[in-house]
Amino acid sequence: MNETSISGMKRTHMCGELRLSDVGREVTVNGWVDRVRDNGGVLFLLVRDRAGIVQCTFDKSVNAGLFDVAFTCRTEFVVAVRGKLVARDEAAINRKMPTGEVEIVAEELRILSRAETTPFEIDDSKEVGDQVRLKYRYLDLRRPSMQRNMMLRHRVTQVARNYFDEQGFLEIETPMLTKSTPEGARDYLVPSRVHPGKFYALPQSPQQYKQLLMLAGMDRYIQITRCFRDEDLRADRQPEFTQIDLEMSFVEQDDVIAVNEGFLQRVFKEVLDVDIQLPLPRLTWREAMDRFGSDKPDTRFGFEIRDISDIAANCGFGVFKGAVESGGTVRLINLGGYADKFPRKEIDKLADFVKTYRAKGLAWMKVAADGTMTSSFAKFLTEDEIAAIKERADMHENDVLFVVADASEETALVSLGALRCELAKRLGLAKKDDYKLLWVTEFPQFEYSEEEDRLVAKHHPFTAPMDEDIPLLDTDPAKVRAKAYDIILNGCELGGGSIRIHDPALQTRMFEALGFTEERAKEQFGHLITAFSYGAPPHGGLAYGLDRLCMLLAGLDSIRDVIAFPKVQNASDLMMSCPDVVDAKQLDDLSIAVTREEKDAEA
Amino acid sequence: MNETSISGMKRTHMCGELRLSDVGREVTVNGWVDRVRDNGGVLFLLVRDRAGIVQCTFDKSVNAGLFDVAFTCRTEFVVAVRGKLVARDEAAINRKMPTGEVEIVAEELRILSRAETTPFEIDDSKEVGDQVRLKYRYLDLRRPSMQRNMMLRHRVTQVARNYFDEQGFLEIETPMLTKSTPEGARDYLVPSRVHPGKFYALPQSPQQYKQLLMLAGMDRYIQITRCFRDEDLRADRQPEFTQIDLEMSFVEQDDVIAVNEGFLQRVFKEVLDVDIQLPLPRLTWREAMDRFGSDKPDTRFGFEIRDISDIAANCGFGVFKGAVESGGTVRLINLGGYADKFPRKEIDKLADFVKTYRAKGLAWMKVAADGTMTSSFAKFLTEDEIAAIKERADMHENDVLFVVADASEETALVSLGALRCELAKRLGLAKKDDYKLLWVTEFPQFEYSEEEDRLVAKHHPFTAPMDEDIPLLDTDPAKVRAKAYDIILNGCELGGGSIRIHDPALQTRMFEALGFTEERAKEQFGHLITAFSYGAPPHGGLAYGLDRLCMLLAGLDSIRDVIAFPKVQNASDLMMSCPDVVDAKQLDDLSIAVTREEKDAEA
C-alpha cells in the first residue's frame, strides 16, 4: 500500500459536525491542519474540512511515537486522524467553535500530504491582497468564508432548478458557438478552422434561442448558463458571467412576475431563512424615476424625491427660476432627522458628489434641532415660498433639504437619486440583511442614442410595447412604454425581462420605428423573422444575473467572491496565466495572424 | 386589447392531459393546430402542446360564426380554444390517442398567430432530410419525438443534480475562457482584445479546475458543463458537448464507483422505470480485451472470444502456425446456434468486415443442424486438433466458429470483438431496451504513440498508477496499470475517470516516465505542480458524456437528436448560419487578420 493512501483511514464524520452527542464514539476525520498548538507534552492539531474545524489531541505521555509524528505536522498538511471523541473539560470549552465542546483523543494519525508554507494564511481574519488571492485561488478558496460563498451559490442554483422544474420548466442547453450580432455589446469571437475567415461568437445571452424554443413548442424553458461580453470590466463585471435564463409561452406580464415571485420567495426562505411577503411591490419606471431618481430604486430608506418646480418657478433665486424657465425642474430630498450629521463642510462636499452626476450644484436648507434655519438659497425666497417648500418637503426640526435645479429633468432626478443612496450609506441605513425587493415596470420602449442620433431599443427589438401605446409607434415613439420589467433588490437589478412580440405585423412596425430597413432587419434577424411566420405563441421571460444574486444574498460587495475562478479587471486569469500566446501552428490552422502584440510589461 | 393577446384565454389544462375524469368541465387549451378535419358541417381542430393533442369540435349548426373562424385555421396556427369537455361517442373513440376518449366542444376560439405553410409536416411518421430539419430546427423540435427527447434530457440532468446534491456534491462553475494546452485534442481559441496577440482557449474539460477545487477543500464537486474540441466530426461527435463532471476528495476507486452506481440506478429508475441491480459487474481491461476484444464490451450477448493458440501452435495450417510462431495468437468466437443464418456467401463477406480492423482473413468452421461439418481450415488439422478446438469452443450442432490468427494479439482481439458486435446486430440480439452496464478497470497507464514514438498517458498525466505497479514505473512502464475506470453501457462508453496522483514525488516520477523534462512539466503544468505542494487530499472523479447518455436512454442512434441546436458534420449551425464572416473592425479590435478565406461554395 502507498503510504499516503486514504485506505483504512476514511472519515466517519466531517470535522465540523462533531458534537457532544457523539462523545464516546470512535471517529476518523480527514482534512487540513488549520493550526498546531504545542502545550508542552500535549499537542493540539486543529483539523479543517468543508464543514468546520475540530481539535485533535496527542499526549506524549500516552503515546510518544504518535506524538512525534504529530509534531512533524505543519499548517495545511493533509491528515487523517482516528481516535475517541471526548467532552472537553469545562475550562477548555471554546464557545466560538461549533465543535468547541469536544475533541478527538488521537489514536492514529496518517499524513496524507505535506505542505510548503503557503503564501498567505488560510484565515478569514487576515487581509490578503487581491492579486495574491487570485494567483493562489485554490488556497483562497480554502478560507471558510469562501467555502460558505460557494455553498450558498450551489444552494441558490439547486433551489432554482427544483423550483422551475416543479413549475413545468425544461432545462434546455443552447449553443455556446453561435453567431456574432452587430448590435449590443462587443462579442468574443472564435475563429473556425473548418471555415477559414469565418467566426463563431460566444453568446451574450441565449435571447434568440430561448424565443426559438418557444416557437418550437417547448412551452417553458430554463437554463443556468454562461454569457460573455467583451467589455471593459467594472468592479462588478466579468467577461464571462452566469444567467438564470427563462422563458414561458402563453403568458402575460403578470404570469411571468407571479412565477418569479414564487422563486424569489423560495430562494430567500431556503438560502437565508428569510420570509418574503408576496406580492412584491411594483413601481412603474416613471414613478421609480420621480420618487427615487433611479430605475433601480433602493427602498430600504425614505428620502424620496419631491418636485418643487411650481413653487420655485417664479422665485427670486435665479438658479431655480432659470431651470424651470428652460423647461427643467427643481427637485429635493429631505434627509429627515439627520441634519445634525451634516455640518456645512460636509454639505459642500456633497455638491461635488452630485456634480459627478452632471448636476450643476446642490442647494440646501437646514433646520437645526433648536429650530434655527440656515440655507444656501432661502434669502432669495419669500416667506411664503419657504413655507410652501417646507410643507411640500414635510420639513421638521433636524431635517435638511437638498435641492437640485436643472434644465434636464433626468439630471435633477438621477443626481438626487444617487445622493439619497450615498447619504443612506453614510448614515448606515442601507443594511445588507434588510431585503427590499420590488418590480419596476412600464419601461420606455426606446431610448435615444447620441452616438447613432436615433431611437434604439431600450431592451431589444423583440420587446412588446404596451397594448395601449401601440398607436404611438407611428406618432410619438419616444412615449411608447414596453411590457418590460426589472426585479430590484436593495437598489441593484437582479434581473429583467419582457413580454415579446409574437405578431409578425407588429414586429415589422417595431423594426420600422427603430429605423431598420427591411433588408437590414432580414440580414440581422432573418432566421427569427422566418421562424415567427410559422405560428408563434405569445411568450415572455426573464433573466437573472446569478453572480449578483449570490453576491447580494451572501451580503458581499464583489461578484468575484461568489465566482470560483474569476478574472481580474484586465480580463486575465492570474492563476492560469491566460490569455496567453499560442503556437504559430495553432494560428495557421485557424487561418488567422496576429497583427499587434502586447508588450509583456502590459500583461 | 391586442387581438392576438392571450388575455382571458389562458389554458386551464395542457392539451395532452385531458381525460374522461375531466368530462363536464369548462376547459381552455392553448396550442398549435396539428390537423384540421372537415366532416361536412362539423370541423375538427386537433390542438397540440408539449403534453399531447386534443380534439376540438366546431358544429356549424350550433354556432356558424365560430365555425367560420375555425374554418380559416390551417396547420400550425396558434390558437386558444375554450369549451366543454365531453366524452366521445363509442364509435368516435381513438384508442391511439391518450386523449382519444374525449373532445372539447368549442365555445370560443382565438387565433393567436397565423402560420405559413411549413417546409415539412410536423409529424413523426414523416421522414425529413437532416439539412432541412436542422435549418428549421424550431419546427423539427415541435415533433412529439423531439419534445420527448428534450424532456428526457431535462429529467436526466435534474436527477443528476438532485442525486449528487444529496451526496454532498457542490455544483461549482469553472471558467470557459481558459488556457490553451498543447497536449490532447485541438483547442478552440478566443482572441483577447485587451491583450493583443494573446488567446484564451475554450475548455476541453474542466479537469485541472476540478482537481484545483479538491486542493481548495471543496471536497465534492459536480458540474454539468459544456466542453469543446475542434476535431473533425464523426457521426456522434459535436464541437461542443456536455459532460456531467465530478470529483471527490478522500476517496479510493471503490468510493467513486459506489457513488456513481447509485446515480446510474437512480437515473434508470426515474427516467425509464428500469431497475438496475447493484453492484454492477466489473471487468479488468485485460479481461475485457481477452473476452470481448474491446475496452467497451457489449455484454447483451455472448459469443465471447477464446484462445486456441496452444492447439494451433503446431497444426498443419500455416496461417495459424505462422501467427503463433511470430509471437501472435489464434482466437475465435462461437456463434452458438446461428450457423444456419450464415451461408458460405455471407461468411465470405464477413472476411471483408474483419479486414477493416486489420485482420488478414477470417477462418471458419461450421456444424450444421444435421451434424455435417464444413470449414475453411479443418482439412489441414488433425482429428485431435479439431476435437480440441470444438471442446475449447463448446461447439454443438448449428454452431459456427470464426477464427482470426494474427501476429498482433490486439488485431486478433479487436477484429473478433468488432465481428461479435456486428453479428449480434445482424441477428437482432443487441436490443436497445436491454441495458447492460459494467465497469472496466485497471486500464494501462500508458499507451504507445506512433506519432511521437514514445509512451503517452492513456488518460492524462495526473492519473494514479495502481499501488502495486508503482515499482514498474522505472523498470517496465508499459506494464503499469492505472487506477482508471470506465462505465460502459451496451458497448458504449458512458463515462470514465480515475483516481489522481496527490503525492508530488509520485507526480514527478510520472512526468519522468512520460519523458517530460522538468522545464516542460513546469511550463505546461506549473500552476498545478505548485498547487500540489500546499497540501493535496487523495482524490478522484469521473465524467459522463451527457449527450451520449441521453441518446442511449432515449434509444436513439445520434446525439443530435438529444441536442436542441446541434451543429452538422462541418461544424456549421444551419439555422443560425454560423460561423460567418465578421466586420473588419471586429478583427482589428482583436488585433488579428484573416490569412485565408473560405470560398462560399464550401460553406
What's the mean pLDDT in B131-146? 96
Which residues fall within 8 angstroms of residue B190, CB to CB, at 6 or more apart? A188, A189, A190, A202, A579, B177, B199, B200, B201, B202
Is the CB of residue B344 less than 8 Å away from at least one CB of chain A? no
Mutation to test the A interface, candidates B29, B189, B271, B563, most A Cβ within 10 Å: B189
What's the mean pLDDT in B437-449? 95
Say which of A2, A176, A249 has its CB closest to residue B467. A2
Q: What is the pLDDT of residue A379?
A: 95
Is the CB of residue A480 less than 8 Å away from at least one CB of chain B? no
What's the mean pLDDT in B462-469? 96
pLDDT at A460 over 90: no
What's the mean pLDDT in A85-97? 96
Q: What is the pLDDT of residue B235?
A: 64
Is the CB of residue B121 less than 8 Å away from at least one CB of chain A? no
Q: Where do runs of H (alpha helix) occur along A458-539?
A: 472-475, 504-513, 518-532
Say which of A178, A213, A592 has its CB closest to residue B576. A178
d(CA A349, CA B421): 82
Is the CB of residue A479 less than 8 Å away from at least one CB of chain B? no
Neighbours of B230 (CB within 10 A): 24
Is the CB of residue A579 less than 8 Å away from at least one CB of chain B? yes
Chain B partners within 8 Å of A15 (Cβ):
none
pLDDT in tens, B166-209: 999 999 999 999 999 877 789 999 999 999 999 999 999 999 99
Minimal-distance CA residue of chain A relative to B31: A537
Q: What is the pLDDT of residue A303?
A: 97
What's the mean pLDDT in A384-404? 96
Which residue ranges of B make up the annotated binding site for ATP?
229-231, 238, 493, 545-548
User: Helix B144-166 crosses helix A144-166 at what angle (to 10 degrees)?
Assistant: 150
Is the CB of residue A602 less than 8 Å away from at least one CB of chain B? yes
Say which of B174, B565, B581 has its CB closest to residue A175. B565
pLDDT class for B3, splitting at 50, 70, 90? confident
Chain B, 448-467: which have a CB under 8 Å from a chain A CB?
A: 467
What sign has the CA pseudo-torsion B38, B44, B50, B51?
Answer: negative
pLDDT in tens, A467-513: 999 999 989 999 999 999 999 999 999 999 999 999 999 999 999 88
Higher pLDDT, A236 or B416: B416
Q: What is the pLDDT of residue A564?
A: 98
pLDDT at A2 over 70: no
Q: Determine contact, residues B550/B492, Cβ cutoff 8 Å.
A: no
pLDDT in tens, A138-189: 999 999 999 999 999 999 999 999 999 999 999 999 999 999 987 778 999 9
Q: What is the pLDDT of residue B411?
A: 97
Average pLDDT score, chain A: 94
pLDDT in tens, A266-312: 999 999 999 999 999 999 999 999 999 999 999 999 999 999 999 99
d(CA A392, CA A304): 12
Whether A531 and B138 lie within 8 Å, measured CB to CB:
yes
Which residues fall within 8 angstroms of residue B214, CB to CB, at 6 or more apart? B221, B247, B248, B249, B500, B536, B537, B539
Give the residue among B498, B483, B481 at the shortest CA–CA distance from B289.
Answer: B481
Please name the residue that has the C-alpha cell 481580474. A568
Chain B, 348-407: which have a CB under 8 Å from a chain A CB?
A: none
pLDDT at A233 over 80: no
d(CA A195, CA B188): 13
Beta strands in A21-118 (DSSP E): 26-38, 42-49, 52-59, 78-87, 102-113
Is the CB of residue A278 less than 8 Å away from at least one CB of chain B? no
Is the CB of residue B258 less than 8 Å away from at least one CB of chain A? no
Beta strands in A314-386 (DSSP E): 329-334, 363-367, 373-375
pLDDT class for B603, splitting at 50, 70, 90? very low
The grid coordinates listed for A341 are 450629521
Q: Determine contact, residues B266/B165, Cβ cutoff 8 Å.
A: no
Q: What is the pLDDT of residue A1?
A: 45
What's the mean pLDDT in B402-406? 97
pLDDT at A341 over 80: yes
Q: What is the pLDDT of residue B2?
A: 58
What's the mean pLDDT in A222-233? 93
Say which of B209, B249, B578 has its CB closest to residue A178. B578
Q: What is the pLDDT of residue A598?
A: 84
pLDDT class for A222, splitting at 50, 70, 90? very high
Whether A580 and B239 lie within 8 Å, measured CB to CB:
no
d(CA A523, CA A519): 6
Closest-CA distance, A490 to chain B, in angstroms, reads: 26
What one-character-per-residue DSSP string does A204-234 give?
S-SHHHHHHHHHTT--EEEEEEEEE------
Which residues fall within 8 angstroms of residue B100, CB to CB, at 6 or more apart? B88, B93, B94
Give the residue among A191, A195, A179 at the shortest CA–CA distance from B601.
Answer: A195
Asked if residue A213 belongs to a known ligand binding site, the reply is: no
Q: Residue A486 pairs with which residues in a beta bridge?
A: A440, A496
Helix or strand or coil: residue A35? Answer: strand
Is the CB of residue A123 less than 8 Å away from at least one CB of chain B? no
Is the CB of residue B595 less than 8 Å away from at least one CB of chain A? yes
Is the CB of residue A145 less than 8 Å away from at least one CB of chain B? no
Closest-CA distance, B331 to chain A, in angstroms, reads: 36
Whether B576 and A179 lie within 8 Å, measured CB to CB:
yes
Q: Which is it for strands B282-284 and B437-441: parallel, antiparallel or unpaired?
A: parallel
Whether B11 and A250 lie within 8 Å, measured CB to CB:
yes
Closest-CA distance, A272 to chain B, in angstroms, reads: 18
The grid coordinates listed for A477 are 415613439
Is the CB of residue A241 less than 8 Å away from at least one CB of chain B? no
- Amino acid symbol at A577: S
pLDDT at A603 over 60: no
Which residues fall within 8 angstroms of residue B168, CB to CB, at 6 or more apart? B219, B220
Closest-CA distance, B432 to chain A, in angstroms, reads: 25
pLDDT class for B1, splitting at 50, 70, 90? very low
Whether B177 and A535 lie within 8 Å, measured CB to CB:
no
pLDDT class for A602, splitting at 50, 70, 90? very low
Least confident range of A117-131, A161-175, A542-556: A117-131
The grid coordinates listed for A340 are 445634525
Minimal-distance CA residue of chain A relative to B254: A7
What's the mean pLDDT in B419-432? 95
Is the CB of residue B11 less than 8 Å away from at least one CB of chain A? yes
Helix or strand or coil: residue A11? Answer: coil
pLDDT in tens, B49-106: 999 999 999 999 999 999 999 999 999 999 999 999 999 999 999 999 999 999 999 9
Say which of A209, A534, A586 has its CB closest to residue B139. A534
Chain B partners within 8 Å of A218 (Cβ):
50, 141, 147, 150
Chain A partners within 8 Å of B163 (Cβ):
none
Whether A250 and B10 lie within 8 Å, measured CB to CB:
yes
Mutation to test the A interface, candidates B30, B232, B590, B600, most A Cβ within 10 Å: B590
What's the mean pLDDT in B478-485? 96
Is the CB of residue B86 less than 8 Å away from at least one CB of chain A? no
pLDDT class for B116, splitting at 50, 70, 90? very high
Whether A579 and B195 lie within 8 Å, measured CB to CB:
yes
Chain A partners within 8 Å of B30 (Cβ):
249-250, 537
Chain B partners within 8 Å of A524 (Cβ):
none
Whether A177 and B595 lie within 8 Å, measured CB to CB:
no
